[in-house]
């Protein structure tokens, strides 16, 4: 994908300055790069709902019988929500302060917002029509099928969470078969997502070529600022928030913690997959951190899909950056709604490389940013994926330290 970004940006920028407004360049954009990029984005969008519904439902159902979770489950749930909230608010605040999506030349910004670079103008912001009590009322769908058909993602996510609660509470054999069916749907969609991601280098090259051919290289400067904000926010959350949590809530010195989890950190960064890092994380939790096995296994297994602070932070930063770039102003209430969706997205995101891309595409549609905007960040996503996965895995281990405090080591 990085190669696709470099190739598309180089060729697009060269074409922009060598033949501005040329008929052949317009033809290439209209009949070649534009359609290919659009097909790639439509494939991503196609997988959003069939991925989010089973992922959220299975994430909640995986907690086990809700009546018997006990203090470990409650402490882990409260900690996850609190730290994920801190992560998203931190990222959004940094975007507002730095403004990586602002500063684009007014003429270029107007062309971008008019849909010249993306192929379609930004749609109306669906969150703007929801305010006060109506917002909370509309979170609960009167017809889940209609919510799915209308892509009302907030309502779909609420339904998915309730479905997961029901699966966790009902322990009958038919309920387990339904859970297996959802797992099968999730596995199939993840395979399809892997196939689409393999097309990403071509899709990214076409999308970036289309953008730079019409706007030039200036938009790439905004992209560099965006990468800096994401990495800076992730680093602050990892070394400040986690250090404070393991020291004040877990009773462990941060230096001891980071020294003990270094093997898991390196594995997470190299694989960009929380699931692939799980065996290493379990090993260091028991051997290096000396955590109770019954706690670390529960927290790390569930946390690999349901406690992804780095992903939630990344999603919040990405959505606000692209909203700034496309001139979509989000009020405070709308930003808070984005925070909530990103926290849920951290639960409903697959712990595999690029697993958060469909969730970002979903949130963009909610705030009225054209789906084509995601093409701008796909070229740098692999590096950012490695960074946020590192934060995710470190966050799972920090949660295990916090939840383990006061628990006896079995055996």
Ordered by where they begin, the domains of the chain are 2-404 (1.10.3860)
pLDDT at res. 174: 93
Residue 319 CA to residue 9 CA, distance in Å, equals 22
Nearest alpha carbon to residue 218 among 13, 8, 67, 356: 13
Confidence of residue 71 (pLDDT cuts 50, 70, 90): low
The segment with the largest mean pLDDT, out of 12-26, 213-227, 291-305, 306-320, is 306-320
pLDDT bin (cut points 50, 70, 90) of residue 116 is: very low
Tell me whether residue 29 is exposed, middle or buried, using C-beta atoms within 10 angstroms of its C-beta: 0 to 12, 13 to 18, 19 or more: buried
Structure-token pair, residue 203: 């899709």
pLDDT at 111: 66
Q: Is the pLDDT of residue 124 over 50?
A: no
8 A C-beta contact, residue 349 and residue 355: yes
pLDDT averaged over every residue in the chain: 81
Q: Give which of 319, 322, 315, 307 is closest to 398, Cα–Cα.
A: 307
The pLDDT of residue 247: 96
The pLDDT of residue 42 is: 81
Of 106 and 320, the one with more pLDDT: 320
Model confidence at 128: pLDDT above 70: no
Specify the residue for token string 């270029």: 108
Confidence grade of residue 213 (pLDDT, cut at 50, 70, 90): confident
pLDDT per position as a tens digit, 353-398:
566 777 787 788 788 887 777 877 887 887 898 899 999 999 999 9
pLDDT score for 120: 42
Mean pLDDT lowest among 25-34, 62-71, 335-344: 62-71
- Look at phi and psi of residue 65 and say left if phi exceeds 0, alpha if psi is from -120 to 50, else beta: beta
- pLDDT at position 398: 96
Give the pLDDT confidence score for residue 122 in this predicted structure.
Answer: 43
407: left (phi over 0), alpha (psi -120 to 50) or beta: beta
> Closest by alpha carbon to 76, among 92, 89, 62, 91?
62
Instruction: For residues 187 and 159, give the distance between their C-alpha atoms in angstroms, rounded to a whole number.
Output: 20
Residues 45-58 have pLDDT tens digits of 787 788 778 877 88
Helices (H), 67-198: 70-98, 106-113, 132-137, 144-149, 153-169, 173-198
pLDDT of 176 > 70? The answer is yes
Q: Of the candidates 312, 320, 276, 286, which has an alpha carbon nearest to the alpha carbon of residue 395?
A: 312
| Rounded-to-integer distance, Cα 151 and Cα 85, Å | 25
Rounded Cα–Cα distance for residues 213 and 8 (Å): 9
Residue with tokens 């439902």, as numbered in its chain: 57
Higher pLDDT: 125 or 108? It is 108
Q: How confident is the model at residue 410 (pLDDT cuts 50, 70, 90)?
A: very low
Q: Is 261 helix (H, G, I), strand (E, B) or coil?
A: coil
Task: Please tell me the predicted confidence (pLDDT) of residue 114.
Answer: 61
Residue with tokens 């996503």: 381
CB 214 within 8 A of CB 9: no
Could you count the other beta carbons within 10 Å of the beta carbon of residue 411?
A: 6
Greater pLDDT, 105 or 367: 367
Over residues 239-267, the mean pLDDT reads: 94
| pLDDT at residue 72 is higher than 80 | no
Q: Is the pLDDT of residue 175 over 50?
A: yes
């Amino acid at each position: 994908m990085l190669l696709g970004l470099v190739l598309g940006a180089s060729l697009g920028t060269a074409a922009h300055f060598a033949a501005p407004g040329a008929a052949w360049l317009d033809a290439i954009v209209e009949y070649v790069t534009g359609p290919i990029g659009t097909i790639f984005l439509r494939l991503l969008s196609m997988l959003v709902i069939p991925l989010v519904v089973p992922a959220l439902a299975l994430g909640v159902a995986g907690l086990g019988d809700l009546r018997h979770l006990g203090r470990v489950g409650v402490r882990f749930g409260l900690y996850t929500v609190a730290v994920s909230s801190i992560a998203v608010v931190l990222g959004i605040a940094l975007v507002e302060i730095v403004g990586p999506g602002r500063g684009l030349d007014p003429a270029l910004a107007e062309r971008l917002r008019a849909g010249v670079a993306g192929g379609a103008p930004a749609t109306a912001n669906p969150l703007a029509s929801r305010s006060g009590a109506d917002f909370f009322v509309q979170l609960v769908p009167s017809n889940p099928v209609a919510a799915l058909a209308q892509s009302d993602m907030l309502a779909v996510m609420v339904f998915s969470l309730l479905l997961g609660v029901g699966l966790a509470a009902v322990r009958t054999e038919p309920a387990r078969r339904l859970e297996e069916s959802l797992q099968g749907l999730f596995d199939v969609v993840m395979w399809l997502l892997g196939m689409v991601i393999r097309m990403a280098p071509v899709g990214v090259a076409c999308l970036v070529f289309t953008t730079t051919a019409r706007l030039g290289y200036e938009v790439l400067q905004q992209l560099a600022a965006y990468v800096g904000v994401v990495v800076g926010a992730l680093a602050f959350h990892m070394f400040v928030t986690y250090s404070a949590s393991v020291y004040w809530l877990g009773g462990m010195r941060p230096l001891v913690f980071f020294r003990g989890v270094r093997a898991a950190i390196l594995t997470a960064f190299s694989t960009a997959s929380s699931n692939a890092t799980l065996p290493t994380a379990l090993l260091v939790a028991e051997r290096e951190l000396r955590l109770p096995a019954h706690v670390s296994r529960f927290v790390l297994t569930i946390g690999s899909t349901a406690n992804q602070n780095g992903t939630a932070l990344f999603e919040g930063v990405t959505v606000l950056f692209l909203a700034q770039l496309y001139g979509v102003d989000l009020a405070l209430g709308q930003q808070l709604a984005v925070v909530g969706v990103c926290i849920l997205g951290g639960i409903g995101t697959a712990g595999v490389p690029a697993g958060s891309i469909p969730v970002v595409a979903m949130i963009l549609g909610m705030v009225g940013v054209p789906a084509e905007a995601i093409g701008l960040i796909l070229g740098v996503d692999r590096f950012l994926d490695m960074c946020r996965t590192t934060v995710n895995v470190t966050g799972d281990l920090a949660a295990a330290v916090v939840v383990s405090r006061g628990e006896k080591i079995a055996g």
